[in-house]
């Protein structure tokens, strides 16, 4: 594994992730059959999850991305969500599937959901690979959830710490020393 000496523990293995994503893709395929959803990925953390999920789903769909920032270089949310890149496609009247890597306080997704309805989305459902329920500040309804995890900062499978570790295949917890640099 790359960056191996900086990883303390594998929390969820690549194989477990693939089994779960397969399962989620089946549910998404079933629920959106006959519709043409607009799938919106939240950059940057959701890009690998989105790519795997959509290649396993058998659907006619459109893809767009939104980029928001609420963490900066820290491991906790500032509580303020800035839209760095908005949608390029029209979402008015569309069934939107919002794809996110991880839900922590819930602030990011509730803000994006509000924005999508403001732009005229007909429906907005959420697919999130991970959730930390103990950290929730805003209640959020997740239709397609991969795993609930404890209150630990995780990296890999698209998720970063200071832009590093995104290409780790497993979801990992880092050694404390990494945060002291
Ligand atoms: P929330 O707004 O729910 O507090 O935060 C959601 C965003 O925070 C996620 O999209 C993700 O970018 C980031 N985030 C929350 N927890 C973690 C974590 O454990 N690891 C990483 N890499 N990002 C996280």
- Block means of pLDDT (10 residues each) for the chain, 181 residues, are 82 98 98 97 96 96 91 58 92 98 94 94 98 95 98 96 95 93 78
pLDDT of residue 88: 95
Q: How far is the CA of 104 from the centre of ligand 1 (A)?
A: 6
Helix (H) / strand (E) element for 64: namely strand 62-69
Q: Is 104 in the pocket of ligand 1 (CB under 6 A)?
A: yes
Q: Is 153 in the pocket of ligand 1 (CB under 6 A)?
A: yes
Residue to substitute in 98, 101, 134, 140 for testing ligand 1 pocket (most ligand atoms within 8 angstroms of CB)? 101
Which candidate, 165, 133, 158, places its Cα nearest to that of 148? 133
Nearest-angstrom CA–CA distance, 63 and 112: 16
Residue to substitute in 71, 84, 152 for testing ligand 1 pocket (most ligand atoms within 8 angstroms of CB)? 71
Q: Is 112 in the pocket of ligand 1 (CB under 6 A)?
A: no
Kindly provide the b/e burial profile for residues 165-178, where b requires at least 16 CB atoms within 10 angstroms of the residue's own CB. bbebbbbbbbeeeb
- The two structure tokens encoding residue 5: 């000496």
Q: What is the reported pTM?
A: 0.93
pLDDT of residue 180: 87
Q: How many helices and strands in the chain, by DSSP H and E?
A: 4, 9
Residue to substitute in 84, 104, 152 for testing ligand 1 pocket (most ligand atoms within 8 angstroms of CB)? 104
pLDDT of residue 4: 76
pLDDT of residue 79: 64
Nearest-angstrom CA–CA distance, 9 and 11: 6
Q: Whose CA is nearest to atom 12 of ligand 1?
A: 45
Q: Whose CA is nearest to atom 9 of ligand 1?
A: 102
> Is 82 annotated as catalytic?
no
- The two structure tokens encoding residue 84: 């760095």
- The active-site residue out of 104, 141, 160, 170 is 104
Q: Is the dihedral of CA 53, 147, 103, 97 positive or negative?
A: positive
């Amino acid at each position: 594994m790359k960056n191996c000496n900086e990883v303390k523990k594998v929390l969820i293995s690549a194989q477990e992730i693939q089994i779960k994503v397969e399962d989620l893709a089946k549910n998404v395929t079933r629920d959106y059959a006959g519709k043409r959803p607009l799938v919106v990925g939240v950059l940057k953390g959701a890009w690998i999850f989105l790519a795997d999920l959509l290649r396993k789903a058998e659907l006619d769909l459109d893809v767009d991305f939104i980029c928001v920032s609420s963490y900066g270089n820290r491991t906790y949310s500032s509580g303020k969500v800035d839209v760095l890149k908005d949608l390029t496609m029209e979402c008015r009247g569309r069934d939107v599937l919002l794809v996110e890597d991880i839900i922590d306080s819930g602030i990011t997704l509730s803000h994006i959901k509000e924005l999508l309805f403001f732009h005229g989305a007909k429906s907005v459902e959420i697919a999130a690979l991970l959730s930390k329920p103990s950290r929730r500040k805003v209640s959020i309804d997740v239709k397609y959830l991969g795993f609930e995890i404890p209150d630990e900062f995780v990296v890999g499978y698209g998720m970063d710490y200071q832009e590093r570790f995104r290409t780790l295949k497993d979801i990992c917890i880092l050694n404390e020393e990494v945060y002291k640099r």
